[in-house]
Chains A and B, each alone.
Chain A
Amino acid sequence: MNILGVSALYHDAAAALLSDGCLVAAAQEERFSRRKHDAALPVNAIDFCLRSAGIKHTELDYVVFYEKPIRKFERILSTQISTFPRSVRQFPRAMLTWLSSKLWIRTTLAQRLKIPPGRILFTDHHQSHAASAFLCSPFEEAAVVVMDGVGEWATSSLWHGTSQGGLALKPIAELQFPDSIGLLYSAFTAYLGFEVNEGEYKVMGMAPYGVPRYVERVEKLLQRSEGGAFRLDMSYFSFHYHPEKSFNDKFVALFGLPRSPDQRFITRSMGHPGGEDAPSRSELDECQRFADIAASIQVVTEGLMLDAIQHAARMTGCRNLCMAGGVALNSVANGRIVREGPFEGVYIQPAAGDAGGALGAALYTWHVAFGHGQRIPLDRADLGESISEARVSAFVRDARARAEELPDDVALTDRVAQMLADGQVVGWCQGRFEWGPRALGHRSILADPRFADMKERVNRRIKFREPFRPFAPATLWESGQKFYDLERSGGEGDPTRFMLMTAQIRDDVRDGIQATTHADGSSRVQRVKRSHHPRFYDLISRFGDSTGFPVLLNTSFNLKGEPIVNTPLEAYSTFCRSGLDALILDRWIVRRP
């Protein structure tokens, strides 16, 4: 039986294909369309999934959409009514898109895939998320917590997943719109001048430069109740009636003027070489205010998440936790949950955002609706399109690239490790691209984290990002604890596999790995198992042999504003337009023409 899961029409469209319960392929549409967070129907991702399985669309048994469109439309319509007349700008836009497109998703999918409409199913949004987490986890039983902006009505939900007596995913409780952790965090993301659904990482990156002195003011925005629940004071927000703005003048009166998107961010702790470009005192004060606000919202969010986790533990009595939803990508909060929470095991699916809903929808249908109990835990994320040896050879030939093929993996990893140790920054493309937003050694930019200026170099000359953005390290599974405080790392679930939690670097090695250590001593560490990615593992290992530090700076292979690369041509084009020293495609080392 072939079941295709689809998420689309809001952000991060994706497709995932199960064939008799085996996950054949999963990919986000943006990797094919080259539009970041592409929300359009993921036709390219669907075609890729079908190609991977060697089937045609007519051979699909079911197509499962990741949410209930009519219930979502109900929420939108009733929100428009309840905010009349302030929603005057949002109403026509919403009606145009819903009545012309989103309400007809069944018809659209049926026409596009040429299958009967009766074979198109719909899971609930949070149900998809919960399934994507629990059904991919290694746990027999777990509390499942889903937190995001909003699905149909739910913004946070608690579930009890169990495989005793047949797989079941029982909903326990939910918080409803507009009381949303995700939307609260997004409002601050917008306030701090970043892009919603994209800039949340930047808020996390900004927070360590600040002191949480605005926590009281953030707490004014909400009224807490038992178990991590809360009610937002909507008089500060406008996301429920304005198509573009998340917060209003009352919010601005409380926190001060928002940060402009083109305003630079520089604090006293970052330092500045001086000169014409040196920041003024008022600029530094202003940036510090923003950093403090970022720190404050991060603290409040972590508190809410921890409370919700504790509540889930009390309600279910489970020892393990699965998390999903966009808020579960808050790796700083995840680190606290792993270290301070009541659960022994913590699992977070690598595409915890809306893209993961496609996978969850398919899994839910197969395992819960059809009652197939045998699960295969998802412990590796390379589910996308592959860069095969043949494909790379053909590309190198046709592009007439200046390239050298190395004879075997040992020669490759030796050479690249040496290049990295010499201070070169390389693009590294191997095998299938990753599922989810993190680069995990399949489409990565790699560098030596020992150089103090490497962070500035990669940010400024290669990725062209804001200077304050930190980079993440990749290290070996076995040696991770030598460098990072990973005494509690989520048990069997271990979020470090997918780079979904932060940990503190150990004091004795901090000076040795500066480029991947953030201002507060934390790192969003990835631990690599040899069984999952032998080449990447061997590379880190060889690098460690020659330098004493088996840790690499690992960042996603893309330029700012672009999705992570997919094909050899995209990698080559990105390479040519950036300051990378070399491009590694499979066993080829490609240099500039």
Chain B
Amino acid sequence: MIRAVPCGGGCLSRQNLVESILEAIERAQMRTEAGHLITASESGRVGFVSRLKQRRIRMREDIQTLELSWWERAYDCCIALLSRATWGSERRTLLKLYEFSLTEDDSFVDVARAAELTRDEALRPQYIQHALDEARHAELFRSRAGVLLQGLRTRGHDLGPLRDRLIALRAGPIQLHAQHHPQTLFERLGERDFLGLVYLAERRGARQFRIVQRLLGSDPASSALFDTVLRDELFHMSYSRRALDRLLEQDRSTTATRLLWRIRLKRAGEAWQRLGHGMGIVSNSILFGLIYFLILGPTTLLVRRRASSGGWSRCDQGGRCGLELLSRQY
């Protein structure tokens, strides 16, 4: 559920994003140090964590286990092999953790909106719990990224290229106007499809996190983090699938299998569009680069430069502006 953020021609400057990204990471790190997310010595905070756990356990009736088909296991093995390089590097681990935190942030928005809009009384508490989990996961990921960042800084690593990558992650791809998604997922898809998407996304997340957890065996703190998140993902899978089955039983318009496959195909189509979008940006960037030198360059010789006057320029317009003037974009 990664959302694209428009990058308006340099409006999200490097300085903007460096500072805000580092702030977010450090904030999460500070919060961990303050003991809000992990068991602390003060009885109040210990109580907070254990009571929250108890409540979550009560809400989880039958938590699904992650059972995979043979081809899914084979696929995950391949992914695990390919991912070794990523998760073996501290820098790349940091980037991935930050990427995960952004995804969790977006998920919070979608699930929180679902909690607002759903008319299903039984689902609302589960959406709320899910949303709170997503926000907490985002903090956990940022916190861990913060620890890794601090480690790199302490060891005197050059953080410049890392900051560039963090900026790119935060900005996301340039958004074309036709691609602008007007609403949250719940509003676009409706309850059934939303639940189906949640189930699939959480399942995919659980698979991914299980792979990562195993790859991070030499980093116990990161591995423990993924263990915590994985348990929540299983809960999210469980409740969404149960709810989906319940709704489809009432509805009887389709089966869960068909609905899930339809969603998978739709997601594949969207991934294809994103690929095309990315290729379009690359090719257009090259094209505009050529235009810059071949057309703009010579134009500069012909165009008289607009000199800054350095003083107030008087305006001669009247104080009223009719509709005809307002309808113009110039």
In the assembly, what is the distance between CA of A157 and CA of B318, in Å? 15
In the complex, what's the smallest C-beta–C-beta distance from B303 to chain A, in angstroms? Answer: 6
**Is the CB of A158 closer than 8 A to any CB of chain B?**
yes
In the complex, what's the smallest C-beta–C-beta distance from B189 to chain A, in angstroms? Answer: 16
Are the CB atoms of A93 and B10 closer together than 8 Å? yes
Are the CB atoms of B27 and A127 closer together than 8 Å? no
**Is the CB of B305 closer than 8 A to any CB of chain A?**
yes
State which of A242, A364, A399 has its C-beta within 8 Å of the C-beta of B128: A399
Given contacts A69-B329, A229-B311, contact A197 B285 (CB under 8 A): no
Q: A11-57: which have CB < 8 Å to B?
A: 11, 33-36, 38-41, 43-44, 47
Give the chain B neighbours of A255 by CB distance below 8 A: none
**Is the CB of B68 closer than 8 A to any CB of chain A?**
no
Give the chain A neighbours of B319 by CB distance below 8 A: 160, 162, 168-171, 368
Given contacts A92-B289, A92-B292, A576-B132, contact A593 B51 (CB under 8 A): yes
Provide the B280-324 mask, 1 if CB < 8 A to any CB of A, else 0: 010011001101110011011001011011111111011111110
**Is the CB of B23 closer than 8 A to any CB of chain A?**
yes
State which of B109, B125, B288, B317 has its C-beta within 8 Å of the C-beta of A34: B109
In the complex, what's the smallest C-beta–C-beta distance from B28 to chain A, in angstroms? Answer: 8
Are the CB atoms of B36 and A578 closer together than 8 Å? yes
Given contacts A91-B296, A101-B176, A569-B115, contact A579 B22 (CB under 8 A): no
State which of B7, B47, B183 has its C-beta within 8 Å of the C-beta of A97: B7
Are the CB atoms of B20 and A230 closer together than 8 Å? no
Are the CB atoms of A82 and B300 closer together than 8 Å? yes
Give the chain B neighbours of A112 by CB distance below 8 A: 180, 182
Given contacts A98-B9, A122-B328, contact A173 B315 (CB under 8 A): yes
In the assembly, what is the distance between CA of A371 and CA of B317, in Å? 17
In the complex, what's the smallest C-beta–C-beta distance from B296 to chain A, in angstroms? Answer: 6
State which of B8, B36, B318 has its C-beta within 8 Å of the C-beta of A39: B8
Provide the B123-143 mask, 1 if CB < 8 A to any CB of A, else 0: 011001101100110010000
Given contacts A194-B19, A398-B125, contact A70 B330 (CB under 8 A): yes
Given contacts A11-B11, A40-B5, A92-B292, contact A592 B176 (CB under 8 A): no
Nearest-CB residue, chain B, relative to A79: B306
Are the CB atoms of A569 and B128 closer together than 8 Å? yes
Give the chain A neighbours of B312 by CB distance below 8 A: 158, 173-175, 226-227, 229, 311
In the assembly, what is the distance between CA of A574 and CA of B177, in Å? 32
In the assembly, what is the distance between CA of A106 and CA of B327, in Å? 10
Give the chain A neighbours of B317 by CB distance below 8 A: 170-171
Pick from B136, B288, B315, B317 the residue with the most CB of A within 10 Å.
B315
**Is the CB of A121 closer than 8 A to any CB of chain B?**
yes
Are the CB atoms of A400 and B55 closer together than 8 Å? yes
Nearest-CB residue, chain A, relative to B315: A171
**Is the CB of B52 closer than 8 A to any CB of chain A?**
yes
Give the chain A neighbours of B13 by CB distance below 8 A: 190, 196, 243-246
Q: B169-226: which have CB < 8 Å to A?
A: 174-177, 180, 182-184
In the assembly, what is the distance between CA of A478 and CA of B20, in Å? 39
In the assembly, what is the distance between CA of A68 and CA of B55, in Å? 54
In the complex, what's the smallest C-beta–C-beta distance from B236 to chain A, in angstroms? Answer: 16
Nearest-CB residue, chain B, relative to A560: B27
In the complex, what's the smallest C-beta–C-beta distance from B39 to chain A, in angstroms? Answer: 14
Are the CB atoms of A593 and B52 closer together than 8 Å? yes
Provide the B42-64 mask, 1 if CB < 8 A to any CB of A, else 0: 00100110011001000000000
**Is the CB of A94 closer than 8 A to any CB of chain B?**
yes
Provide the A156-189 mask, 1 if CB < 8 A to any CB of B, else 0: 0110101000101111111111110000000001
Are the CB atoms of A123 and B327 closer together than 8 Å? no
Q: A126-151: which have CB < 8 Å to B?
A: 127
State which of A175, A195, A311, A461 has its C-beta within 8 Å of the C-beta of B313: A175
Provide the A81-113 mask, 1 if CB < 8 A to any CB of B, else 0: 110110010111111111011101111100010
Count residues of A near B (Cβ-Cβ below 8 Å).
121
Give the chain A neighbours of B128 by CB distance below 8 A: 395, 398-399, 569
Nearest-CB residue, chain A, relative to B325: A369
Are the CB atoms of A560 and B23 closer together than 8 Å? yes
In the assembly, what is the distance between CA of A106 and CA of B326, in Å? 13
**Is the CB of A460 closer than 8 A to any CB of chain B?**
yes
In the complex, what's the smallest C-beta–C-beta distance from A107 to chain B, in angstroms? Answer: 7
Given contacts A244-B10, A244-B13, A593-B51, contact A84 B27 (CB under 8 A): no
Are the CB atoms of B313 and A97 closer together than 8 Å? no
Are the CB atoms of A76 and B9 closer together than 8 Å? yes
Are the CB atoms of B180 and A108 closer together than 8 Å? yes
State which of A40, A41, A170, A245 has its C-beta within 8 Å of the C-beta of B318: A170
Give the chain B neighbours of A374 by CB distance below 8 A: none
State which of A102, A121, A464 has its C-beta within 8 Å of the C-beta of B30: A464
Give the chain B neighbours of A229 by CB distance below 8 A: 310-312
Are the CB atoms of B125 and A400 closer together than 8 Å? yes
Are the CB atoms of A368 and B289 closer together than 8 Å? no
Are the CB atoms of A567 and B15 closer together than 8 Å? no
Given contacts A100-B177, A569-B128, contact A35 B9 (CB under 8 A): no
Q: A277-303: which have CB < 8 Å to B?
A: none
In the complex, what's the smallest C-beta–C-beta distance from B254 to chain A, in angstroms? Answer: 28
**Is the CB of B235 closer than 8 A to any CB of chain A?**
no
State which of B36, B51, B136, B299 has its C-beta within 8 Å of the C-beta of A579: B36
**Is the CB of B270 closer than 8 A to any CB of chain A?**
no
Provide the A457-495 mask, 1 if CB < 8 A to any CB of B, else 0: 000110010000000000000000000000000000000
Provide the B154-175 mask, 1 if CB < 8 A to any CB of A, else 0: 0000010001000000000011
Give the chain B neighbours of A193 by CB distance below 8 A: 15, 19
Can you name 29 A-B pairs with beta carbons within 8 Å?
A40-B5, A43-B183, A44-B184, A47-B183, A71-B329, A78-B303, A91-B292, A92-B284, A93-B7, A96-B281, A97-B6, A101-B176, A112-B180, A122-B328, A171-B319, A243-B13, A243-B14, A262-B22, A368-B319, A398-B115, A400-B55, A464-B30, A567-B116, A569-B112, A569-B115, A569-B116, A573-B112, A576-B136, A578-B31
Given contacts A92-B289, A168-B318, A190-B13, 7 further A-B contacts (CB under 8 A): A41-B180, A68-B329, A68-B330, A162-B319, A193-B19, A197-B16, A577-B37
Which 4 pairs, one residue from A and one from B, show the smallest C-beta to C-beta distance?
A: A231-B310, A168-B319, A244-B14, A170-B319
Interface residues in chain B, defined as those with a beta carbon under 8 Å from any beta carbon in chain A? 5-20, 22-24, 26-27, 30-31, 34, 36-37, 44, 47-48, 51-52, 55, 105, 108-109, 112, 115-116, 124-125, 128-129, 131-132, 135-136, 139, 153, 159, 163, 174-177, 180, 182-184, 281, 284-285, 288-289, 291-293, 296-297, 299-300, 303, 305-306, 308-315, 317-323, 326-330
Interface residues in chain A, defined as those with a beta carbon under 8 Å from any beta carbon in chain B? 9-11, 33-36, 38-41, 43-44, 47, 64, 68-71, 74, 76, 78, 80-82, 84-85, 88, 90-98, 100-102, 104-108, 112, 118, 120-123, 127, 157-158, 160, 162, 166, 168-179, 189-190, 193-199, 223, 225-227, 229-232, 234, 242-246, 261-262, 311, 364-365, 368-369, 371, 395, 398-400, 460-461, 464, 559-561, 567, 569-570, 572-573, 576-579, 592-593
